[in-house]
Structures are given as structure tokens and as C-alpha cells.
Amino acid sequence: MLTTAHALITRMGHKLGLTDAELKQLLAANAEHRFEIKLQDGQTFPAYRVQHNNRRGPYKGGIRFHPDVSLDEVRALATLMSLKTAAVGLPLGGGKGGVAVNPRSLTPEQLEELSRQYASHLHGALGPDQDVPAPDVGTNATVIDWMVSEYERLTGDTTKASFTGKSLEGGGSLGREAATGRGGVIALREYLATTGRTGQLLTVAVQGFGNVGSFFATIASAEHPEWRLVAASDSAATLTKPGGLNVGRLAAHKQSGGSFKEAATPDATAASPEAVIATDADVLVLAALGDTITEDNMRDVKAKYIVELANGPVSDPAAEFLISRGITILPDIVANAGGVIVSYLEWKQNKSGEHWPESKVNHELEAYMVPAVKAMSDAARVEHLPLKDAAFMVALQRLTSE
């Protein structure tokens, strides 16, 4: 991931005429924190926080609790955060953190101890104007609330602006839960507008019906009756119905802990989870995991548009192949930026002591997503570039000249 990100930054940097010194600075992180967390029972876990670039504002990026976390992964994700915040015009930089731990192997008490130790070790390097972490894979609002409490205890700062992704009671923002899915709907709508396809009937398939995928489908069905969800998958099955699936029923089924295997009906047929990739639909929304389209299955894709709501769901060789076939890929750094945009809005509310209604949060989300899609599409058209290259180019321009 790190090699791929560096290769694209270098390629786009050269296109922009950046000097080797400028490129070197963009590729290196400003600071890397490596430490060990030792729980009272003696278990130890490697922990990291990489602060990549703060030229546009405080470092921003999640904290991941996962057994595969490594310094290289955290470096890559921190670098991509600097590009994502710049690509969507936020006054923030990029950072990322992680602990190599399986959070499911810990008791709630151990998880709290781990979270508090993480915040305690780093408290001098974090802060509303310095570095503002958020949840990521394996962490959630509860983990962040523990970290905020530890940070407050050690620093006396009670603004809550030191972390985002907090619970609503702990200073979180309305609209955060739906933000990435909603941002994906806006990205697709705005991109289609640039191609003159506004208002036309579109069939849509969604891979992954968790937080992001189900909000994407629910908001799309409410705001775009002309988009028809013909397939949706989770890790158990793909459900297909050419006449259109009942989005509300599927979302409620998942919310109640059900899987798509049991949700099949005589007119909504179930197939393997992988079958969603080969759906005969105009749009394929990828909202499950990284690398779900690779050289192994790229030839199965029938969609004309792919929306990357997961991080890196299309491998680089697969993306090259699909683009050569005329398929458009709306890249993750813009398409799934709704989450970090609403994180920024949460930070802004905390800093000013305000609590916005959800309608205002959604309005502000639009105000960042719409120009971000336009800047990327314009750069792609003018420079004859795929959208991902164009988004990187816009981001690098902002990181070096604004």
C-alpha cells in the first residue's frame, strides 16, 4: 500500500513539476511515534501514531486496533489521509494510528485499559490544534470516549475537540454515522451530472451492507428513485432482484443482526457473496473490504461505474485493466471522504461549543463533496487522467501551493 501510494505521488508530483526536495518532503512523515502498551496482566502490544503532514492543519486520521497493524501500514494510511483531506479541501493534515491487537480477544476492562494507555502515552503529541484522531477498523465511539476522558484528565482540556467519532453524549456530531454512505451518494450524483446522466434510470449493486453500504443504499433510495438497487451482498450471500430490492427491509434485517442468507425470498434470489461483482448493473458500489476486485475477478465486472467506498477495494492492476475497458472508477480518496468531512464538522462544533442539527451537518457535507468531485473531474478532463490520478494531482497541488 505504501509503495503504491508513493508511486502515484511521485508520478503526479513529476507531472506537476515538483522538485525532488518537495517530493521527498511529501513522501516522508513529519513524526512517527512507536511504543509498547503493557497491560496490567502482562500482555504487550506494539502501538503507533504517524503524523504525516500538517501543512493544511492539524493531523487527522483514525486509530486502528487489528492484529495485522504494522508501522508500514500506518505510514501508508497516514500518507493517504494527507491526500484525502487535501483532495476534499479540508483545513486538516494527515495522520494515522494503530495497535497490533485483536480487540475481540480482550475483555471490556482490558480494552479500556489499552485505549487509555494509548491516549496517555501520546497526550503531549495530540490536541485540538495538533493531532485529532478518530475511530477506524476495530475501534468505535466507546474507545474514543475512553481516550477523550484520559486526555482530559491529563491535560485539563475539556473542549472534546481532541478526538472525533465520539458518542453523541460525549460530544459527537449528528450525521456522522451516515456520513460516508451519504458522501458516496453525493459523489456518484455529482459525477453523473458531469456526464449528463442526471435523472436517468440506473441499476446499482452494493457489495457490503454494513454501516457504509446500508446508508448508501438507504439514502440513495430516498433521494434517487431513478436508481434501482438490483443486488446487495454481505459476507454470507449476494441477493439479486432485477426489479429492485426492498432497501428498507434489507437494512432492518441487517440492523437486527440478520445475514443475507436468510433474507432470500422467491423473487430475491441468493448467490455467493462474490457474485455481486459480476452483477449486470450500471453501477457497482464497493463498501466491504480492500482488494475485493483483483486480477482474479476483474474480467467478471459488467458495471460501467465503480464507486470505491471501502479503502482500496480495486487493486492497481485491476484498476488499470478496468479503466482500459472504459469503466470509470470513482476513487476512495474522494468517494469515501464523507466520514472525514463530518469528523471535521464535529471538531468545528466542539471548538466553537456548538451542536448543529443534522440538516446543517448534511448541508456542510454537500458544500465539501460537490466542489471536491468537480475539482477531480475537471482535472481528469483537462489532463486526460483517470479520476484517481486526477484526485491525487489536485491534492498534491493543494499540499504544495496553498
Q: How far is the CB of 43 from ligand NAD (least distance, A)?
A: 25
Name residue, grid cell 513529476.
14
273 binds ligand NAD (CB under 6 A): yes
| 338-352 vs 179-194: helix crossing angle, rounded to 10 | 120
User: Which one among 54, 85, 180, 400 touches ligand NAD, defined by CB under 6 A?
Assistant: 180
Asked whether 74 and 61 are in contact (CB, 8 A), the reply is: no
CA distance 240 to 312: 25
279 binds ligand NAD (CB under 6 A): no
Q: How far is CA 189 from CA 221, 306, 336, 389, in A?
A: 13, 13, 14, 20
CA distance 335 to 376: 11
- Rank residues 84 and 160 by Cβ distance to ligand NAD and give the closer one: 84
Which DSSP helix (H) or strand (E) runs through 361?
Answer: helix 358-383
Q: How far is the CB of 326 from ligand NAD (least distance, A)?
A: 25
- Rank residues 68 and 109 by Cβ distance to ligand NAD and give the closer one: 68
Q: How far is the CB of 212 from ligand NAD (least distance, A)?
A: 3
Asked whether 109 and 73 are in contact (CB, 8 A), the reply is: no
Dihedral over Cα of 243, 249, 251, 257: its sign: negative
Cβ contacts of residue 243 below 8 Å, gap of 6+? 228, 230, 267
194 binds ligand NAD (CB under 6 A): no
Q: How far is the CB of 362 from ligand NAD (least distance, A)?
A: 15
Q: How far is the CB of 343 from ligand NAD (least distance, A)?
A: 9
Q: Nearest-CA neighbor of 41 among 95, 92, 117? A: 117
Q: How far is the CB of 199 from ligand NAD (least distance, A)?
A: 28
Helix residue spans in 88-196 (DSSP H): 108-122, 141-155, 179-194
- Rank residues 349 and 400 by Cβ distance to ligand NAD and give the closer one: 349
User: Which one among 43, 211, 246, 269 touches ligand NAD, defined by CB under 6 A?
Assistant: 211
183 binds ligand NAD (CB under 6 A): no
Residues within window 66-105 making contact with ligand NAD, judged by CB under 6 A:
none
288 binds ligand NAD (CB under 6 A): yes
Strand partners, 260: none
Q: Catalytic pick from 96, 166, 254, 388?
A: 96
Reply yes or no on whether 96 is catalytic: yes
207 binds ligand NAD (CB under 6 A): yes
User: Which one among 234, 282, 308, 346 touches ligand NAD, defined by CB under 6 A?
Assistant: 234
- Rank residues 23 and 86 by Cβ distance to ligand NAD and give the closer one: 86
Helix, strand and coil in the chain, % to nearest 5: 50, 20, 35
Helix (H, G, I), strand (E, B) or coil at 98: strand
341 binds ligand NAD (CB under 6 A): no
Q: How far is the CB of 164 from ligand NAD (least distance, A)?
A: 11
* Span from 64-72, 86-94, 166-174, 229-237 in contact with ligand NAD (CB under 6 A): 229-237
User: Which one among 79, 85, 117, 233 touches ligand NAD, defined by CB under 6 A?
Assistant: 233
Asked whether 128 and 160 are in contact (CB, 8 A), the reply is: no
The catalytic site residues sit at: 96
Residues forming the site for ligand NAD (CB under 6 A): 137, 180, 207-213, 233-235, 273, 287-289, 309-311, 336, 339
